[in-house]
Structure 1
Amino acid sequence: MTELGNRLKEAREEKGMSLDDLQAATKIQKRYLTALEEGNYDVIPGKFYVRAFIKQYAEAVGLNSEELFEEFKKDIPDSYNDEVSDKLSSIKPQRELPAPASKALELLPTLLVSAGVIVVIAIIYVIVQAVMGGGNENSAEQTKTEETESKYDVSKDSPLKNENQKNADNEKSGAEDKKDDDAQKTADKKELSIKAVNSQGSSTTYEVSGADKLELEVTTTADSWVRVRDAKGTSLKEGMMKKGDSFQKNITDQDQIELRVGYAPGVEIKINGKVLSYELDPKNVMTQNITIENKKEKKSS
């Protein structure tokens, strides 16, 4: 076992994680994790993957991968040659396009396009005729209505006309009152704010404000180890969560909540249904420590 392997294994054991837990958190096969601890890099397919697996292993157990690469650079293989080889092998020679089977096949796309244009023109013609016919009917109906109103015209001072005007004014006033009420409700509604205020290493602190009640929801889209603690250090949730599992907790009365996720790309965190956007890219920092601070508004006396 190499010194690097000893360092990785000690860090894993200090975290209380088994190889199975680490496999679930990093998505790296257990036999490759064992090979890293034993320094048996020949088992791993390519030097590039050796460095990538060491980086994911280190971040999952809370070590700085860049410092490890610098300290043990003599023991870790250089991946440059493998990367060049992979890029060269990914270049495929261009193939000649097969010649059309016949002139008829060459003309087929043109014929299909022409037929489509004809169909579209026919549809537009039918729609225009229908609209014009409907317009003529509406015009005739409007003329008939105007003649009827002219025949039975209501005088300006008649009680019937005054009543109609009164009803119209009441409807307009009611609509304006409803509009004012809706505007007031919108103004009174508080908007939840989730803001990252500090980020260092694999840890980020988020401030949450703008809501009287807070509901925390943690959902896994892939297997991951998750731990949730309150400000007193009491564990609210700890252990492996399978794909599709969900954990909910009302944290309104909590000043602070701490989360640690083993595989950030597979863990979605919501507060009052609003998704918390990771400040640190989960693809680069898979294991993250997240602190949520509840900035409660002070009530005026």
Structure 2
Amino acid sequence: MSDLGQLLKKARLDKKISLEDLQETTKIRKRYLEAIEDGNYKVLPGNFYVRAFIKSYAEAVGLDPNEVLSMYQSDIPAAEPEHIEPIRSKRTSRNSERFSKWASSAMLISFVVLIFGLGYYFVSKNYSGTSGASQDLPARLTDDAVPQTPAPATPQAGAGGGSAAQQNAAGETPAPVPAPAPVPAPTPAPAVEVKLTKSERGTDFYTVAGADKLTVQITIKGDACWLEVDEMQGGKRGTSVDQGTYQNGETKTYELTTSAFLIFGKASAVDLVVNGTPVPVGDVANVKKIQVDFAAKTS
């Protein structure tokens, strides 16, 4: 056990805090806490997270985290520099090739549309000319004039009855046709709302209303980032859905029917979207913890 681990463990025992209680407070797994006390930093997901986890441990047991990190700076492994692969020129050539194919297809489609348009124009023009010529022909005269038949007189309404349009053959007035009943408009579905309710002990708590499941989308940007996604059971962290280190440009999507607890090793390297709503994580390279719950349904 290292001197730093002895200091942290003594402070924890003086405050009568078990490793299980410390895990619930810091949201750091028990095996990582034991590794910090034993000085076995290789168990942790990476050197970058050693300082962040030690800082959270020190705050939870009442120690000054900055002073602890300063005193034992030589015992803590330095964070390894992030290696970012250069962008390959192959992507540029692929993009150019795709653009060339798209341009060729667009030109071919435009040419076909132009041919059909010209054909339609000439056919329409010829058809209109033919119909106009037939209208200009003089009317044919017959030898015998056809007498015009006078229009029948409109019968007048009787003294005790309605008009002819309102009476049938038997002289009875038909019953009025009832107007159709209006169709009720469908009830719109409730809009999904993601709302920050509180921030407590380094954790941001969000609620989601208008949805029966959580859709969590995480995109890594800039640097690699370690993350962990857990299901909540009975108000506490339960089954681990995923944990690991992901690289720049990778996107992970999770579908959950329970509340979720999220841990990000480097908040500035993450874009988070919950049920289509962007959730701010922060622009500082520190550990970030977020809990997402379903809003209570009102009757």
TM-score, shorter chain, exceeding 0.5: no
TM-score w.r.t. length of structure 2: 0.42
Q: Which has the higher helix share?
A: 1
**TM-score, normalised by the number of residues in structure 1:** 0.42
Relative contact order (C-alpha < 8 Å, sep 6+): which is higher?
1
